[in-house]
A and B are shown apart, each in its own frame.
Chain A
Amino acid sequence: MSSTSNAMKFTLRIWRQKGPKDSGKLVDYKVDDIIPEMSFLEMLDVLNEKLAAEGKDPVAFDSDCREGICGTCGLVINGIAHGPLAGTTTCGLRMRHFRSGDVITIEPFRADSFPIIKDLVVDRTAFDRIVQAGGYVSFNTGSAPDANSVLVSKDASHDSMDAATCIGCGACVAACPNASAHLFTGAKVYQFAKIPQGQPERDQRVLNMITTHDKEGFGDCSNHGECEAVCPKQINIKTIAQMRRDYLVASLRT
């Protein structure tokens, strides 16, 4: 790649950890010829190709869609999950939000429920298990009534969508000082609490999902609101309040 006039350079302090049992440490790397239009991950691609060409082990990080919707990528950049720009995933973050010469520390999402696989890659299957505990409407394929036979108000649908947009990236857990997954769980609970299809299982859903949340070892939510601030989909912590309300009602009722 040719050097361009607006090329930027950075010192990257990246968490390297060989495997789940390794203790890991921060290692410094230099990159230059970074242009402002690059995404953060493309900058890491550049670093990795450089490392590979030198025969060194590239930095393991995960990503897939690179357009902010699959929830695969997720790095803690200078202490902030998904980096300094609000409402963005790591893949959507462009380098123009940094200044040439910056030292950038890159760490994995840290939580004991998200064990580190290698370097910056963590295992987030705990989220799947929370969903498996009840994050759905139970019915068998084929038994659905005509779609318009159940009316859903525009507002309710909108509200539900606001929560349903969660991509399950885990930034809420990474950012939470308590490593709680209440925003993730709350979003799912909220999504179904707002629409008629979610009502039959509403009580059982919130009880089971919270039981699994706790069993997976996530922390308690003490309302710091860091989750909302880093959430790439800007899911509101009102979903957590709703989940607590539902949980209380469900505990009293069942």
Chain B
Amino acid sequence: MPYELIMGDTELDSKVPDGPIDQKWTLYKQNAKLVLPANKRKYTIIIVGTGLAGASAAATLGELGYKVKSFCIHDSARRAHSVAALGGINAAKNYQNDGDSVWRLFYDTVKGGDFRAREANVHRLAEVSLNIIDQAAAQGVPFAREYGGTLANRSFGGAQVSRTFYARGQTGQQLLYGAYGSFSRQVHEKNVTLYNNREMLDLVVKDGKARGIITRNLITGEVERHAGHAVLLCTGGYGTIFYLSTNAVNSNGTAAWRCHKRGAFFANPCYTQIHPTCIPQAGDFQSKLTLMSESLRNDGRVWVPKKKGDDRHPNDIPDEERDYYLERRYPAFGNLVPRDIASRAAKKACDEGYGVGPTKRAVYLDFKSAIQRMGEDAVRERYGNLFEMYEEITGEDPYKVPMRIYPASHYTMGGLWVDYNLMTTIPGLHCLGEANFSDHGSNRLGASALMQGLSDGYFVIPYTLGNYLAQHQPHDELTTDTPEFEAAEKNVADNLKKLMEIGGERTPQDYHRELGKIVWNYVGMSRDEEGLKKAITDIRELRKDFWSNLKVTGVNEEFNKNLEFAGRVADYLELAELMAIDALFREESCGGHFREEYKTEAGEARRNDEDFCYVAAWEWNGDPTKPKLNKENLTFENVKLAQRSYK
């Protein structure tokens, strides 16, 4: 065994307030300590990232009067990858009169997450979902509407009610632009200062509290110090650790990982989401995989031929020779089962030899019956842009030929451990959105990521941050002239220099591709002990090779993509090991974490609530091979732990 479990001794306090679940947040807000309005402008808040979580937090804190310094790796705040979310955002508005409620959204989310999320956080999310839709509508987000002018809804995986609000297939874009608009207004008002083209490369901790960050200016290479009274990390997930993913090429886990190395616990890194409906890979050159919104599963039917290796054209295969396997195996939810289940079912079909397309790693998503039922125009109205996107990429017309889809890395439920206040184990360092671990357990339901990012930014952090500042952080004068800043800056500069000076043969992309293959094959959709151990060994070897054979062209003092990527790949080479370790020691299957050894006879995930009903919060121990495990036990007082069934 290449690795032995080291236990940490930290008592993790989730700081969940007392009271009945539906009163906790109300009571929290009533009792939260407030910062005097006149004092707010004396506080400087550093917010890293300008996606849904970061932009909404910056806008809201700016409106409240805080001085916000906002950092993004792009040229503009509008480009964060939240922009690419397609399908929609959930809210328990019950506008459809179909029996939805805050409780039901809460329950669906806890169940969808396979009972590995913190109840109180999820309930708060469900409560706040109502406000998010109001907020976005008031911003002028052009949501889909009914003829009478009210908001329209669609249904999404893992839910039996229609609660998803959407703006064509560009919901993330429109919600982000809404937040970006409010954010821009605060920039105009001079409450928010935007530092674009900056990558956060270290966290500055002083007297045990997060008090600043070190950034690299991606245009000039300059390493800069920024001080604040609190730091909000809103940097998204680490889905690009798989190299091929639906994430953007600049999405990365570096900021979160560097915070981890400064003392923030990293929770549940093995919980990664593999999205079932992506366009299959076409070749080695490929830089990313394109997602087809899950909303397609509303009207599209997933199938494979009943005969193995059936090479006929899909339109030549008659209905009785098709296996609509999701409808067959999960009659209650059919094609709308949660993502992890749909993904694994596709993998199973392909593993067993039923895959289709040139690589045989794909299944069909067919719109024939939808087109027959509601006409091509209605289908075009709902999915037109997705169909066009598919056609442009594959050269096939999905109105005539079924789409080919295959799962791809999409979202990471794991992330920095946070308490109910969204604060990490480093006081003052908060973590919002996908970057934290809190609300989705081991599997995120469709249309919940947008909800969580905005909930954290617009409606949670304004209260919890005030509560922290009022109690623990005086508005002292800021300075970057401290030994802590000097040490952090030196750390960053040394690391950059080290990367530049290896002088080997292989490019960062080359390492990234190889790492991605290891992670995809052994820490992907299904895992087993042997594979995970092999992954750990392979990652260690690759990491060693990286630090002796990396080649970075150019110099630090310029726009240098290779240097940027090199730093990110270096961090991924450490994080990947933690993912594998986490997966290895979670000896159960739950949500996105599926261990071959732990499944029911029907091949479904088998949880072990007795031994693993906890959050695995890993502590940096000075070496990527020796992380320490701290546990936050999850207690479910309001929902009954049950085997997740979508049959």
Contacts and interface: CB of A to CB of B under 8 A. Distances in A.
B562 to A, nearest CB: 6
B60 interface: yes
B79 to A, nearest CB: 5
Given A45-B509, A128-B76, A195-B142, A70 B84 contact: yes
A251 interface: no
B633 interface: no
The 3 residue pairs across chains A and B that have the minimum distance between CB atoms: A151-B149, A136-B181, A144-B138
Contacts of B177: 164
Given A57-B554, A117-B559, A141-B63, A154 B139 contact: no
B138 A69 contact: no
Contacts of A223: none
Nearest to A1: B284
Nearest to A124: B75
B424 interface: no
Interface residues of A, number: 79
Q: Which of B139, B282, B389, B551 has the most CB of A within 10 A?
A: B139
A197 B324 CA distance: 45
A141 B59 contact: yes
Nearest to B140: A197
B559 A60 contact: yes
A29 to B, nearest CB: 15
A123 B395 CA distance: 33
16 contacts: A35-B283, A46-B285, A55-B553, A64-B79, A64-B250, A65-B248, A67-B389, A85-B392, A92-B389, A132-B185, A136-B185, A141-B59, A145-B138, A152-B149, A160-B140, A165-B173
Contacts of B561: 58, 60
B63 A49 contact: no
A96 B393 CA distance: 10
B187 interface: yes
Nearest to B507: A52
B145 A152 contact: yes
Interface string A213-234: 0000000000000000000000
Q: Which of B177, B395, B509 has the most CB of A within 10 A?
A: B177
B611 interface: no
A102 to B, nearest CB: 18
Contacts of B553: 51-52, 55-58
B485 interface: no
A242 interface: no
Given A123-B75, A148-B95, A168-B76, A136 B139 contact: yes
Interface in B39-93: 56, 59-60, 63, 74-81, 83-84, 93
Contact of A132 (B144, B187, B558, B559): B187
B76 A125 contact: yes
B641 interface: no
Contacts of A160: 140, 142
Contacts of B505: 53
B37 to A, nearest CB: 13
Nearest to A85: B392
Interface residues on B, range: 35 or more
Contact of B291 (A19, A67, A138, A191): A67
Interface string B440-471: 00000000000000000011001000000000
A133 interface: yes
Contacts of B393: 92, 94
Contacts of B507: 49, 52-53
Interface stretch (B129-137, B594-602, B615-623): B129-137
Contacts of B168: 161, 165
A42 interface: yes
Contacts of A136: 139-140, 181-182, 184-185
B290 interface: yes
A139 B458 CA distance: 13
A70 B167 contact: no
B75 A151 contact: no
Contacts of B95: 148
A141 B462 contact: yes
B559 A157 contact: no
Nearest to B196: A125
B248 to A, nearest CB: 4
A70 B184 contact: no
Interface string B130-163: 0101111111111111111111000000000000
B48 to A, nearest CB: 17
Contacts of A66: 248-249, 287-288, 290
A64 B249 CA distance: 5
B283 A38 contact: yes
Contact of B288 (A67, A148, A195): A67
A71 interface: yes
A127 B174 CA distance: 17
A68 B389 contact: yes
A150 B248 contact: no
A141 B139 CA distance: 10
A172 interface: no
Given A117-B559, A144-B137, 20 more contacts: A53-B507, A53-B551, A58-B553, A58-B561, A64-B250, A65-B84, A71-B78, A94-B395, A96-B395, A117-B219, A118-B559, A128-B194, A136-B139, A141-B182, A141-B458, A147-B151, A154-B149, A160-B140, A164-B174, A168-B78
Interface string A29-48: 00000010111011001100
Given A125-B76, A128-B184, A164-B174, A70 B140 contact: no
B79 A72 contact: yes
Given A70-B83, A154-B146, A164-B142, A128 B77 contact: yes
A69 B173 contact: yes
B413 to A, nearest CB: 21
A55 B552 CA distance: 9
Contacts of B79: 64-65, 70-72, 168
B76 A127 contact: yes
A42 B513 CA distance: 14
Contacts of B437: none
Contacts of B181: 131, 135-137
A161 B291 contact: no
Contacts of A128: 76-78, 184, 187, 194
A85 B458 CA distance: 39
Contacts of A88: 392
A153 B559 contact: no
A117 B74 CA distance: 13
A140 interface: yes
B389 A147 contact: no
Contacts of A58: 553-554, 561-562
Q: Which of A1, A37, A38, A96 has the most CB of B within 10 A?
A: A37
Contacts of B74: 64, 70, 72
Contacts of A12: none
A42 B80 CA distance: 21
B93 A37 contact: no
A65 B167 CA distance: 19
